[in-house]
């Protein structure tokens, strides 16, 4: 694997190898006082975030540091991007400075693929940490890791992805990855928050959350992405919450074993009730925890060659 740009086209074997490595790393580090492996000593990882992030940026930084890589964070405001330097020149500069891996988040869909094409003559790997409304592959991998942990596997499982599918790179990556790993996906959203062409996706579509909940193994609530809705959004926040918010009453409709996920950041009270987000049924902090191990596994598969994981 040279780059990780999307879950579209990621094979079942590769995805499973990354998830297995993440699980092995988690077990290796469990209970250790010093969480430091020598695996990526001498490697340089640069995070380049053109959009805000808490979970993804921090967990990539921790992942790199726990594997002994040198990790450098670049943001648009503190770099020469603020003087007008292009994405291409910034990427070529970072590669020339010695980056073994560039992790990029960018508001434009397709930015990570462009970056990888500009760096094709170099040794530098690219990881997509979220590009516009396109994909967020490491989020889908950490979601799959969490579901595997809670449900024991994904083959034949039914997962509802609920809410603002239209603007969600998390939804797109999850549709590709979950179906590759053998799950059935049902998208539950108002018609105004579904993309054109969704009928050609390998999913079923529903507008009625209450009708779906009793038959799913997991429900993945999405963030409503107001920053991508320049003309406001319909339904209103109140209508959305009534029709699609995961309330305590809706939690009771789920089978006992079913898991609640949210990629964060959450809009509590609108997308999900606080009591649901904080309940033992929710795996939201597990998702964050697994995000570190999954991102360690991704860096390992990109950068460690034949070396042992631990
Ligand atoms: N889920 C996710 O991508 O969160 P951040 O925007 O905080 O990285």
Tell me, yes or no, whether 144 and 255 share the same domain.
Answer: yes
Q: Residue 228: what pLDDT?
A: 76
Q: Ligand 1 in contact with 56 (CB < 6 A)?
A: yes
Tell how far the Cα of 159 is from the centroid of ligand 1, in angstroms.
Answer: 21
Is 5 inside any structural domain? no
Along the 310 residues of the chain, how does pLDDT read in single tens digits? 899 999 999 999 999 999 999 999 999 999 898 899 999 999 999 999 999 999 999 999 999 999 999 999 998 787 787 788 899 999 999 999 999 999 999 999 999 999 999 999 999 999 999 999 999 999 999 999 999 999 999 999 999 999 999 999 999 999 999 999 999 999 999 999 999 999 999 999 999 999 999 999 999 999 998 777 876 666 788 899 999 999 999 999 999 999 999 999 998 999 999 999 999 999 999 999 999 999 999 999 999 975 444 4
Cα dihedral 174, 177, 180, 183 in deg (nearest 10) = -40
CA of 68 to the centre of ligand 1 (A): 23
Residue 309 placed within a domain: no
- Residue 161 and residue 127 share a domain: no
DSSP 224: P
310 within some domain: no
Let me know whether 65 and 146 are in one domain: no
Among protein residues, the one whose CA lies closest to atom 6 of ligand 1 = 53
**46, 150: one domain:** no
Spacing of C-alpha 178 from chain mean position = 12
What is the per-residue pLDDT for 138?
98
Q: Is 19 contained in some domain?
A: yes
Cα Rg, the chain, nearest whole Å: 19
What's the pLDDT score for residue 307? 47
Are 42 and 149 within one domain?
Answer: no
**Together in a domain, 119 and 152:** no
Instruction: Round to the nearest angstrom and report the end-to-end CA distance of the chain.
Output: 19
- State whether the beta carbon of 54 lies less than 6 angstroms from ligand 1: yes
Ligand 1 centre to CA of 121 (Å) is 30
Residue to probe by mutation, ligand 1, list 55, 134, 164, 284, most atoms within 8 Å of CB: 55
Q: Indicate the top mutation candidate among 139, 163, 168 to test ligand 1's pocket, ranked by most ligand atoms within 8 A of CB.
A: 139
Predicted pLDDT of residue 308: 44
Which of 58, 130, 132, 262 has most ligand 1 atoms within 8 Å of CB, for mutation?
130
For the CA of 57, the nearest atom of ligand 1:
8
Whether 68 and 99 map to the same domain: the answer is yes
Burial class (CB in 10 A: 0-12, 13-18, 19+), 71: buried
Instruction: Judge whether 269 lies within some domain.
Output: yes
Write down the pLDDT at residue 310.
40
Residues 152 and 269 in one domain: yes
128 and 258 housed in the same domain: no
**Does 264 sit in the ligand 1 pocket, CB within 6 Å?**
yes
Res 79: pLDDT: 79
Instruction: Report how far apart, in Å, the C-alpha atoms of 300 and of each of 11, 42, 199 are.
Output: 17, 13, 36
Same domain, 153 and 258: yes
Task: For residue 92, give its domain range.
Answer: 12-135+288-303
Question: Residue 244: which CATH number?
Answer: 3.40.50.1370
> Is there a domain that residue 308 lies in?
no
164 and 60 in a single domain? The answer is: no
Omega before 235 cis (within 30°)? yes
pLDDT at position 13 is 97
**Ligand 1: does its nearest atom lie under 6 Å from the Cβ of 263?**
yes
Q: Whose CA is nearest to atom 5 of ligand 1?
A: 53
- Which pLDDT value is given to residue 309? 44
* Number of domains the chain contains: 2
Tell me if ipTM is over 0.90.
yes
Residue at 7 is within a domain: no
Distance 306 CA to ligand 1 centre (A): 31
Domain assignment present for residue 6? The answer is no
Distance CA 149, CA 19 (A): 10
- Give the per-residue pLDDT at 234: 67
Task: Assess whether 181 and 222 both reside in one domain.
Answer: yes
Q: Given this model, what pLDDT does residue 233 score?
A: 64
265 known member of a binding site: yes
């Amino acid at each position: 694997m040279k780059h990780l740009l999307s879950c579209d086209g990621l094979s079942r074997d590769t995805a499973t190898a990354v998830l297995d490595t993440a699980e092995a790393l988690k077990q290796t580090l469990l209970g250790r006082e010093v969480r430091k492996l020598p695996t990526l000593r001498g490697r340089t990882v640069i995070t380049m975030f053109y959009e805000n992030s808490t979970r993804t940026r921090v967990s990539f930084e921790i992942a790199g540091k726990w594997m002994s890589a040198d990790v450098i964070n670049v943001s648009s405001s503190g770099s020469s991007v603020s003087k007008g330097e292009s994405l291409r020149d910034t990427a070529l500069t970072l590669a020339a400075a010695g980056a073994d891996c560039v992790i990029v988040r960018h508001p434009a869909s397709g930015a990570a693929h462009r970056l990888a094409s500009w760096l094709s003559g170099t040794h530098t790997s690219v990881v997509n940490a979220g590009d516009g409304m396109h994909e967020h592959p490491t989020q889908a991998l950490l979601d799959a890791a969490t579901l595997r942990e809670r449900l024991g596997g994904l083959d034949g499982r039914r997962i509802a992805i609920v809410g603002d599918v239209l603007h969600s790179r998390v939804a797109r990556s999850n549709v590709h990855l979950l179906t590759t790993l053998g799950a059935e996906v049902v998208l539950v959203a108002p018609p105004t928050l579904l993309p054109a062409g969704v009928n050609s996706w390998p999913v079923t579509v529903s507008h009625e959350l209450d009708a779906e909940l009793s038959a799913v193994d997991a429900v993945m609530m999405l963030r409503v992405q107001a920053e991508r809705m320049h003309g406001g959004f319909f339904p209103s926040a109140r209508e959305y919450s009534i029709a699609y918010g995961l309330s305590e009453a809706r939690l009771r409709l789920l089978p006992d074993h079913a898991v609640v996920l949210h990629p964060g950041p959450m809009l509590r009270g609108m997308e999900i009730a606080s009591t649901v987000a904080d309940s033992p049924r929710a795996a939201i902090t597990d998702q964050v925890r697994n995000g570190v191990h999954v991102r360690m596994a991704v860096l390992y598969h990109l950068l460690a060659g034949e070396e042992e994981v631990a």
